Amino acid sequence: MKFKKSNKLYKKGLVHLVGAVNSPVRAFTSVGGNPLFIKKAKGTKITDVDGNEFIDLVLSYGPMILGHRHKKVQKGVEKALKNGYSFGASTENEIKLAKIVCDAFPGMDKVRFVNSGTEAVISGVRLARAYTGKDKIIKFSGCYHGHQDSLLVAAGSGLATLSMPGSKGVPEGAVKNTLISNYNDLESVKKHFEEHDDIAAVIIEPICGNMGVVIPQGNFLKELKAYLETKGALLIADEVMTGFRSKFGGAQELLGVEADITCLGKVIGGGFPVGAYGARNEIMQEVAPLGGMYQAGTLSGNPIAMAGGIATLTELKKQNPYKKFEETGSILEVILLETAKKYHVDLSVNRFGSMLNPFFTKTNVTNFEEAQTSDTAKFAVFFWEMIKNGVFLPPSQFEAWFLSSALTDNDIKVIANAVDKGMLAISKM
């Protein structure tokens, strides 16, 4: 497999793009080598500029749940394009998509569309503060909620310490109201409430996807929600990644929890830039023009994104692929674990719905600290072997793999063969 054209574009891109990319993980920094440049995609396959074809388990980090360029989505978008690209005014499709989304989430009466998951979270946090009249937010170490200043933070020493900025350019003042807790550790949340009386909300990914797929243990989410209710604080569910991926609706419902505010993105745009945040009427009443919490956007509710979202969710509801996702995910988990055992490679696999992630560690991963025990050098070898054998993975140990409903039995065979080659290469390290 050759990457001559991708390498040439990478060098050309270095001139006017930062690192030749527009999002850091695309730079392949954690796996080495130069990034691949993609030309086209259809169904389960993605093709780079050199003509190499791969089974795609990135799926634009989630939204291509039906596979690439599904005919119903393509038709819906093409129809919308004929009417115009952007109006800066209201359209009927915004109402249609809002009803589909609200009907899928118990406790969501109203929704506001924005342009990205990051924007949805920014707005959701602002809304929590507006509704409660409090300032502080608790997030969990290893959970990513977009690149907004107040949540782009890392934990200091100990679980209950005040946060420090996790990126250059983020002033300490921007994160002074952000507290860090440990995922799956309710006591680390309670400690903050013992020390602070102005906590507005806790924000969480119901299923983590940015430290790898990490799942809440036992009744962690239920107990967290019950505790927050005693403190007058809200639960914000960041379902930008998990929304519509484990059921038609949110992972929170499967886990027995109803968040106060839900943030969405990815799937609800069918591959187009979109995000959303929603809640009960009493909370959404705070949002302008009904209330005093201001948030606006010229491209919010963009007609092309709305058309893509309506077509995607309508087809997704019709297909109802969630039982198939569970079966396919289980097959891939077995393939990974049994192949790792065959070649004496330490491996732990986490899976939920149509998301899964192998960790190159013998540790059962339930939080960020445990995820970091993974051998990233082994993952880098595995990544490139998967690429060479026709499978496109996220170029990071700590990113989730995604399944599409278009995945076939033959695709599974190709993935299994690539996994075998990858584990064999690791065994020779």
Residues annotated as part of the active site: 144, 238, 266
Amino acid residing at 326 = E
- Whether 370 and 215 have beta carbons less than 8 Å apart is answered as no
Contact between 386 and 418 (Cβ < 8 Å): yes
173: number of Cβ within 10 Å: 10
Tokens 């092309």 map to which residue? 304
Count CB atoms within 10 A of the CB of residue 22: 10
Beta strands per DSSP E along 325-388: 348-352, 355-359
CA distances 266 to 59, 108, 120, 189, 273, Å, are 10, 18, 11, 29, 8
Helices (H), 351-408: 368-371, 376-388
Q: Taking each helix axis from N to C terminus, what angle separates 376-388 and 409-427, rounded to the nearest 10 degrees?
A: 130
Buried b (16+ CB within 10 A) or exposed e, 68-85: bebebbeebbeebeeeee
- Residue 127 near residue 277 (C-beta atoms within 8 A): yes
| Order of strands across the sheet that contains 199-204 | 110-114, 275-279, 261-264, 234-238, 199-204, 136-140, 178-181
- In the numeric block, the tokens 């129809």 are attached to 79
Please provide residue 134's backbone torsions phi and psi, each rounded to the nearest 5 degrees: -115, 165
Q: Which two tokens stand for residue 325?
A: 């996702």
> How many CB atoms are closer than 10 A to CB 47?
17
